[in-house]
């Protein structure tokens, strides 16, 4: 973690980083609406990270992560996330339900902020789910005492992420919780150096995040418009991402009355989703608008080919995703464990009137 551990010094670093974050958004070439959206993205990121500032090693919690008020770094409304912190030498049990999830994973990380490594991993292929989708997993301690699925806690591990993937948003009813099994004393009223370092790490995270947001938010962003590309930067996975996902991405840049048509072919995969994002890496308003598609919700032809339409109004055709009228935004296509390398979809700009006709 960053910083000397002095809480006052860390607080001042955080205040400075927030001021710089706002300045970066203010200096980007943005409309009034987009500038406000950029500041909202910063506020969401801060809320997200403040929710993880404190951790109770004696009574850890699996806290829901990346909800709509705390979107941060390409959240995904087709996933459920929970995050907890664990202590060296601890023994824990995770229990939950994943009845309607098409895939679930438990990843143990070592690191902090935006830098971490996966050091242990269990998926729903390894867990024993009963008829109601309930599962249990023991972390740490002797394997002989686990009485079921177990994973060791490697040296340096300090975080656990639980993910569940869903095809149907109406069935996202999963849950999970964590308890510490070994006896541990109540923590002190505060550990000043530890708290100061966590606060300093928050300042570094916000500084880094704001630089990324300002870069993608700028009109000078190098993202190729109205095309799809292989997201090569994600090959092999990135920090806090699920291994085994093949990523494709692109950006739309549309004038009033235009739409972007994306055409491709589905290959068998554990999970497939297309999702729209703002230029500040927040998913669009999935609570009120159609901004994502999964395989079962997508219309295809007999050969498995699809046509997705990105537009600011409903053109009355299948597979429409709502850009909210944004002239610019990002889209990401995710293939979880595809049976073959997916072909790169092609994109073209068309008139909305032509689609309606």
* Residue 342 CB contacts under 8 Å (≥ 6 apart), including other chains: 246, 248, 264, 265, 267, 269, 335
What DSSP letter does each residue of 273-328 carry, written as one string?
Answer: EEEEE-TTS-B--TTTS--EEEGGG--B-TTSEEEEEEESS--SSTTEEE-TT-SE
Q: What is the signed CA dihedral for 134, 59, 80, 269, rounded to 10 degrees?
A: -60
Q: Does 2.40.50.140 match the CATH number of domain 75-171?
A: no
- Residue boundaries of the structural domains of the chain: 1-56+187-221, 75-171, 227-356
Provide the pLDDT for residue 218. 63
For residue 248, report the phi and psi dihedrals to the nearest 5 degrees.
-130, 150
Provide the pLDDT for residue 234. 82
C-alpha separations of 135 from 94, 97, 122, 128, 353 in Å: 8, 6, 12, 6, 51
Provide the pLDDT for residue 113. 73
Q: Do domains 75-171 and 227-356 have the same CATH topology?
A: yes
Provide the pLDDT for residue 1. 46
How confident is the model over 78-113, as pLDDT tens digits? 999 999 999 989 999 999 999 999 999 999 999 877
- Classified as helix, coil or strand, 157 is coil
What DSSP letter does each residue of 18-50 carry, written as one string?
Answer: HHHHHHHHHHSS--HHHHHHHHHHHHHHHHHHH
How confident is the model over 263-314, as pLDDT tens digits? 999 999 999 999 999 999 999 999 999 999 999 999 999 999 999 999 999 9
Query: In what helix (H) or strand (E) does residue 13 lie, and over which residues does it extend?
Result: helix 7-27
**Pairing status of strand 258-265 against strand 346-351:** antiparallel
Provide the pLDDT for residue 224. 81
Provide the pLDDT for residue 2. 56
Q: For a pLDDT cut of 90, what percent of the chain falls above it?
A: 85
- Look-up of token digits 């907890």: 84
Contact 297, 167 (CB under 8 A): yes
Q: What is the sign, positive or negative, of the torsion defined by CA atoms of 309, 312, 315, 319? A: positive
Query: 137 is written with which tokens?
Result: 């997993």
Closest to 110 measured CA to CA, from 139, 73, 74, 85: 85
Angle at 41 between CA 53 and CA 277, to 5 degrees: 120
Closest to 283 measured CA to CA, from 138, 73, 11: 73
Q: Which CATH number fits domain 227-356: 1.10.760.10, 2.60.120.600, 3.10.450.350, 3.40.50.300?
A: 2.60.120.600
The pLDDT tens digits along the chain (357 residues) read 456 799 999 999 999 999 999 999 999 889 999 999 999 999 999 999 999 999 888 899 999 999 999 999 899 999 999 999 999 899 999 999 999 999 999 999 998 777 888 999 999 999 989 999 999 999 999 999 998 999 999 999 999 999 999 999 999 999 999 999 999 999 899 999 999 999 999 999 999 999 998 887 665 455 789 999 999 888 766 778 888 999 999 999 999 999 999 999 999 999 999 999 999 999 999 999 999 999 999 999 999 999 999 999 999 999 999 999 999 999 999 999 999 999 999 999 999 999 987
Half-sphere exposure of 326 (CA within 13 A, CB side): 26
Provide the pLDDT for residue 171. 96
Report the alpha-carbon distance of residue 60 to residue 46 in Å, rounded.
Answer: 21
């Amino acid at each position: 973690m960053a910083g000397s551990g002095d809480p006052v010094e860390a607080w001042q670093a955080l205040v400075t980083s927030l001021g710089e974050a706002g300045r970066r958004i203010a200096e980007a070439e943005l409309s009034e609406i987009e500038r406000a959206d950029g500041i909202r993205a910063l506020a969401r990121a801060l809320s997200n990270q403040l929710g993880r500032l404190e951790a109770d090693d004696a009574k850890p919690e699996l806290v829901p992560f990346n909800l709509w008020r705390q979107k941060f770094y390409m959240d995904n409304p087709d996933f459920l996330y929970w995050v907890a912190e664990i202590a060296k030498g601890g023994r824990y049990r995770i229990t939950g339900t994943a009845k309607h999830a098409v895939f679930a994973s438990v990843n143990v990380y070592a690191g902090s902020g935006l830098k971490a490594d996966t050091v242990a991993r269990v998926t729903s292929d390894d867990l024993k789910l009963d008829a109601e989708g309930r599962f249990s997993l023991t972390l740490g301690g002797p394997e002989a005492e686990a009485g079921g699925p177990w994973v060791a806690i490697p040296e340096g591990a300090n975080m656990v992420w639980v993910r569940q993937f869903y095809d149907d948003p109406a069935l996202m009813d999963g849950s999970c919780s964590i308890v510490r099994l070994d006896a541990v004393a109540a923590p002190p009223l505060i550990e000043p150096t530890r708290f100061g370092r966590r606060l300093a790490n928050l300042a570094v995270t916000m500084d880094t995040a704001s630089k990324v947001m300002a870069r993608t938010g700028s009109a000078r962003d190098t993202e190729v418009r109205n095309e799809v590309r292989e997201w090569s930067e994600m090959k092999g996975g990135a920090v806090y991402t699920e291994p085994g996902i093949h990523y494709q991405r692109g950006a739309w840049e549309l004038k009033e009355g235009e739409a972007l048509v994306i055409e491709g072919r589905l290959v068998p995969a554990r999970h497939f989703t297309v999702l729209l994002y703002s230029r500040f890496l927040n998913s669009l308003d999935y609570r009120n608008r159609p901004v994502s598609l999964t395989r079962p919700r997508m219309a295809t032809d007999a050969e498995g080919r699809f046509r997705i339409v990105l537009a600011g109004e409903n053109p009355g055709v299948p597979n429409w995703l709502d850009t909210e009228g944004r002239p610019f935004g990002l889209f990401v296509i995710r293939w979880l464990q595809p049976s073959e390398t997916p072909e790169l979809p092609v994109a073209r700009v068309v008139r909305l009137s032509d689609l309606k006709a």
